[in-house]
Structure 1
Amino acid sequence: MAVVLQRPHAAVTGLFLYLYFITCGLSIPDPRQREALIKLEASMQTGGQMVLTDAEQRQDALLSKMKQEEMARADFPPAMHFFKARPLIRTSPIFSLLQKMPKGGALHVHDFSMVDVEWLVKDVTYRPHCYMCYTDNQSIRFIFSSLGPKVLPHCSPWILLENLRAKMDNTTDLDNSIMGNLTLFTDQDPEALYPSQDVVWYRFEQAFGALWGLVTYAPVFRDYYYQGLTQFYADNVMYLELRALLPEVYELDGSTHGTSWTLKTYQDVTQRFIAEHPDFFGARIIFTVNRGVNISVMTGVVEEAMKLQKDFPDIMAGFDLVGREDSGRPLWYFRDALSLPAERGVTLPFFFHAGETDLEGTDVDQNLLDALLFNTSRIGHGFALLRHPVAKDISRKRGVAIEVCPISNQVLMLVKDLRNHPGAALMSQNHPVVISSDDPAMFGASGLSYDFYEAFVGFGGIRSHLGFLKELAMNSIRYSSLTPRQQEKALALWQRKWDKFVSEKAF
């Protein structure tokens, strides 16, 4: 009987060649050996080992052609500040494709920056009983009140917006001015307007302060969250994990609701949205607190988080610290409070922001290692991970995904050219990564498509293909807080959407 020798797989051939090369070297370069090494390296990146169906291969050929044309553009969007690149991205056929693509889940989004600020201004500020005042530091504040609100320190007398607008022939300038206070996005030169991290973060925090009184009003709170789900759903996102402060929410008469009410409201609105959109898988909440609080406050919040986890296991995913990492307290400062769940045998998953910094050697720079010491389920941002080889190795071996938010890192001045983002290096090694949008409304973005564009075109380079996008979408479910059974159901739902996507003439 004749023996048929099968040709070894290119990746296997490349691996043997690689091992030989690093031990012995190659005296005479061989084109075939060179090609094998190139293929091996390509197979190591995100999506590099994804086997595409015939339909996917046909669409991938068209996508590759589109990408080559995109990368040949004189004005290359990932190399530009997002505020300048946005109009170029919007005209890109790749972006149009990504909007139609089922992207799975958004695992790193903050509660009060998920909805386009135009909706807040055009809808919410036109509602009855909406008051506004001007602060001493050139910002604004809002409140809804039936009897007229009390004077706010460091703010002008309250102005009832419906009375103010009634006196105007044209309210466009006022509305645009309000919008400008609720977002970082600007038509001016962003590098001139925000010359440093301190300046952009100050403006960032002021924008959150400006919208606070709008979104914590109970009727708006419900509508805002529903509108946020609507906008992500419209961008073909089927699941959401929301970082939420669970604030005190107020009614028109000034009465307030506590944390449990707020979390229950998230649950109720999510269930209503699923009932009206059966192909939306759901949403879960990661309870957060600002990292600027003291130890006593942190201890109380962790105690509350453990209770909420017990009372609301379906909607509550876990716990995190938020706020600017460089100016906040490091995780290790709160080690006693953060150790309480383990000491008491209580399950409280952590999803820590860590490594959202370009400082080296500081206490804050150790947050990545400390997050892993506290068994974080994922790492938010992880921008500094390449400087921490031990943390990088542990996160890979444990399957702790890095939540990469390209546009956020660029706008908040950690990186200028997104081709140089650490996420590009992580994805060249197929490190566990998910792509998310952090605070899209603050950046003039929406949903996930803009960040997927920056990752695909900016991080992936010319080699990344449809498998790159497919694996990122699947990662968003695999690394979610869903149970294994829920992940299986979510992946099946996503697969049906994906198969429909690649079979249509979406390209």
Structure 2
Amino acid sequence: MEASLRRPLVAVAVALLCCRCGVLSFPDPREREALIELETSMQVGGQVVLTDAEKRLDAVLLKMKQRELMKEEFPPAMHFFKARPLIEASPIFTLLQKMPKGAALHVHDLSMGGVDWLVKNVTYRPNCYMCVTDKSSLRFTFSSQWPKTLPHCSVWSLLEQLRAKTVNVTELDNSIMGNLTVFTDDDPERVYPSQDAIWGDFEQAFQALWGLVTYAPVFREYYYRGLQEFYSDNVMYLELRALLPELYELDGSTHDRVWTLKTYQDVTRQFKDEHPDFFGARMIFSVHRGVNTSTMTEVVERAMKLQRDFPEIMAGFDMVGREDSGKPLWYFREVLSLPAEGDEPLPFFFHAGETDQEGTDVDQNMLDALLLNTSRIGHGFALTRHPVAKLLSRKRGVAIEVCPISNQVTMLVKDLRNHPAAALMSEGHPLVISSDDPAMFGSSGLSYDFYQAFVGLGGLKANLGTLKELAMNSIRFSSLTLKQQQDALALWQKRWEKFVSENAP
């Protein structure tokens, strides 16, 4: 809420409470209503004025949510792997799939699209080889000749030959698919008893994906299909954390990061041409936070040059990987100060606060991200434990990129009703909803995370105004220029009005 709008309500509430101080009498219902109204006005969407059609749709949503809360199995209170079929059966989820959600601002490039296509299409292509590591994970490569054996990996098998002599090919394909995600049909609490366990499998799955997705012909198709997946889920714009890998060809030759970035640019333009109501995508060049200072210096300098040479597609820079086991932001403070010292624009979009290890060096990442002038904070799960960082992010308008399913799967929170972002939503803190690594979690697009945020984090208080503001936030807090944001919001508004008119009774 704008400060100018909130101030009169706050003044009234304070005056009412002060008048009652020390008075032992039956509470005035008018005072109670005023305080409830104040709290409601402060939440995300609390100042959104709904049209008559929006009010009718909001009433429908409220009834849906009341019925959802009465069910014995409440999806936000369950692990997502168990809750997914219940979510998919929910009429709220069906409605959210139709809703124009604006932008997805926290998605990783190599886990943005479903793995079914990779297994059923890509691994069936000629010259696809697979080996098994000593950790029982898989590695893939495409090669015109038999590849050299990797360290800690079995001899390569040509998948075409392996399938020809396999009795149950479906079982083999399912096994491959299981290696490309952390999703499991078994009890997830038993399969992943700790954060170390889930992160270990997550990193192995990512490495298994690597050889398939970084094959140049596949890379173009995978990115296009990823855009299609989000577009089909009514997302009109994306900002991807992109490692910009060196892509390889069948003969073993490789392309540099500039070539990869140009590929992103070309495919994005093609997709926009073919889908005029899609607004585009930009890349946040990322590096693993486990690198040393020398490598980080090289990467930051490269990022500055890419930002200068490709302003259309480059949004900025970030560090990725498990925060608890990586180096804290403060460790790289001198390197990360290079853009400011050289007067080179390089916006930061730092992952920070994706931890429950209170009081550690890593736990200070959110404050350090703000000191380094980050544009947004990825995850920010620990923000409510840091009042100074919370105050600064609110004052500066630095949005928190909330990824509910990711935080639950990586065991930061069990019941999403207890997610710290529930308090941030109640306070109207600047935030956006995103899906992080949907392919890894057996999710897709943005609707699953919107469901968890709307039903779990928001509870009965969250209404259509909440959804509307979250969608608009995703454009307002994007890296787009002010003019581009205005154009995107105008395009979104048309889609929103159509959505309301088609679904309001």
TM-score (norm. length: structure 1): 0.97
- Residue 93 (structure 1) aligns with: 91
1:20 aligned residue (2, 15, 31) = 15
Q: 1-side partners of 2:468 and 2:216: how far apart?
A: 39
- Residue 504 (structure 1) aligns with: 502
- Residue 34 (structure 1) aligns with: 32
- Residue 45 (structure 2) aligns with: 47
Question: What displacement does 1:164 show?
Answer: 1.2
Question: What displacement does 1:14 show?
Answer: 4.9
1:269 partnered with 2:264: no
RMSD: 1.3
Deviations 1:38-77 (A, max 9, x none): 1110111000110001111111111111111111111111
Q: Is the 8 A contact 2:56 2:504 kept in 1?
A: no
Q: Secondary structure at the match of 1:250?
A: coil
How do 1:21-170 residues align onto structure 2 when only pairs under 5 Å count? 21-25=16-20, 27=23, 28=25, 29-170=27-168
1:230 aligned residue (228, 231, 238) = 228
Q: 2-side partners of 1:426 and 1:12: how far apart?
A: 19
Q: 1:373 to 1:11 in 2, by over 3 A?
A: closer
Q: Secondary structure at the match of 2:235?
A: coil
Q: 1:415 to 1:254 in 2, by over 3 A?
A: same
- Residue 6 (structure 1) aligns with: none
Question: What displacement does 1:31 show?
Answer: 1.3
Deviations 1:346-369 (A, max 9, x none): 000000000000011111011001
1:181 aligned residue (168, 179, 182) = 179
- Residue 435 (structure 2) aligns with: 437
- Residue 218 (structure 1) aligns with: 216
Q: Secondary structure at the match of 2:105?
A: strand
Question: What displacement does 1:16 show?
Answer: 3.9
1:323 partnered with 2:318: no
Q: Secondary structure at the match of 1:184?
A: coil
Q: 2-side partners of 1:257 and 1:12: how far apart?
A: 56
Deviations 1:168-204 (A, max 9, x none): 3441100100010010100000001100001110011
Question: What displacement does 1:435 show?
Answer: 0.2
Q: 2-side partners of 1:72 and 1:361: how far apart?
A: 39
- Residue 424 (structure 1) aligns with: 422
Q: Is the 8 A contact 2:434 2:449 kept in 1?
A: yes
Q: Secondary structure at the match of 1:257?
A: coil
- Residue 338 (structure 1) aligns with: 336
Matched residue count: 498
Q: 2-side partners of 1:83 and 1:394: how far apart?
A: 35
Q: Is the 8 A contact 1:13 1:36 kept in 2?
A: no
1:381 partnered with 2:376: no
Q: 2-side partners of 1:132 and 1:271: how far apart?
A: 33
The one-letter amino acid of 1:311's match is: D
How do 1:238-387 residues align onto structure 2 when only pairs under 5 Å count? 238-387=236-385
Q: Is the 8 A contact 1:100 1:506 kept in 2?
A: no
Q: 1-side partners of 2:123 and 2:172: how far apart?
A: 11
Q: 2-side partners of 1:93 and 1:420: how far apart?
A: 23
Deviations 1:431-463 (A, max 9, x none): 000000000011110000000000000011112
Q: 1:506 to 1:287 in 2, by over 3 A?
A: farther
Question: What displacement does 1:12 show?
Answer: 7.9
Q: Secondary structure at the match of 2:412?
A: coil
Q: 1-side partners of 2:19 and 2:134: how far apart?
A: 69
Q: Is the 8 A contact 1:406 1:418 kept in 2?
A: yes
- Residue 208 (structure 1) aligns with: 206
The one-letter amino acid of 2:351's match is: H
Gaps of 5+ in 2: none
Gaps of 5+ in 1: 1-9
1:475 aligned residue (459, 473, 476) = 473
Q: Secondary structure at the match of 2:208?
A: helix
How do 1:483-494 residues align onto structure 2 when only pairs under 5 Å count? 483-494=481-492
Question: What displacement does 1:20 show?
Answer: 1.5
Q: Is the 8 A contact 1:102 1:498 kept in 2?
A: yes
1:449 aligned residue (418, 437, 447) = 447
Q: 1-side partners of 2:229 and 2:237: how far apart?
A: 12
Q: 1-side partners of 2:78 and 2:97: how far apart?
A: 21
Identical pairs, percent = 75
Q: 1-side partners of 2:168 and 2:382: how far apart?
A: 48
Q: Secondary structure at the match of 2:503?
A: coil
Question: What displacement does 1:23 show?
Answer: 3.0
Q: Secondary structure at the match of 1:318?
A: strand
Q: Secondary structure at the match of 2:72?
A: coil
- Residue 197 (structure 2) aligns with: 199
The one-letter amino acid of 2:477's match is: Y
The one-letter amino acid of 1:192's match is: R
Q: Secondary structure at the match of 1:252?
A: coil
- Residue 5 (structure 1) aligns with: none
Q: Is the 8 A contact 2:54 2:504 kept in 1?
A: no
Q: 1-side partners of 2:429 and 2:6: how far apart?
A: 18
Q: 2-side partners of 1:389 and 1:381: how far apart?
A: 16
Deviations 1:332-353 (A, max 9, x none): 1001110000000000000000
Deviations 1:82-107 (A, max 9, x none): 00110100000000000000000000
Q: Relative to structure 2, which stretch is displaced further, 32-41 or 289-298?
A: 32-41
TM-score (norm. length: structure 2): 0.97
Q: 1-side partners of 2:372 and 2:503: how far apart?
A: 47
